[in-house]
Amino acid sequence: MYAIIRTGGKQSKVSAGDVIHVELIKGTEDEITFTPLLVVDDKGTAITDRSKLEKMPVTAKILGQVKGDKIDIFKYKNKSGYRRRQGHRQRYSQIEIVSITKPRATKKKAVEATDAKTTAKKATTAKASDTKKASDNKKTEEA
């Protein structure tokens, strides 16, 4: 099972146990949750419905902060002696994906059971009304 999450303006494909670097997350929280954009379960079924995805949070633990690779910036203009040298090192938060929560299937089974009961009631009511109509038709024919 894996999910696509959005953080820091970027999207990442994650599964339980992955350690990834994301844009710096400010705050002192130990655990954070993300609402996924897409979830693919073990059977290969993709879930994209927002109402279902809100019930499937992705929980992550912040491990710390790390620095990315150094980027050297050098500006130069020919024949004028213009030279500027600059460097940059981006800071990232290192997070570990703890879990991707699955929605409970028990509610769905309960809903299916109540749907089955209501259809059974409708069927018995329909049979009773059909027999009543048939008896009414016989009475009108005899008269």
Paired with 64 in beta bridges are: 94
Domain boundaries, given as residue ranges, for the chain: 2-103, 104-143
Q: What is the pLDDT of residues 8-33, one digit of tens each?
A: 999 999 999 999 999 999 877 889 99
DSSP structural state of residue 105: S
CA distances from 53 to 4, 8, 11, 31, 34 (A): 11, 19, 16, 19, 10
Q: Which residue has the tokens 């994906």?
A: 97
Q: In the predicted model, is pLDDT for residue 141 greater than 70?
A: no
pTM above 0.75, yes or no: no
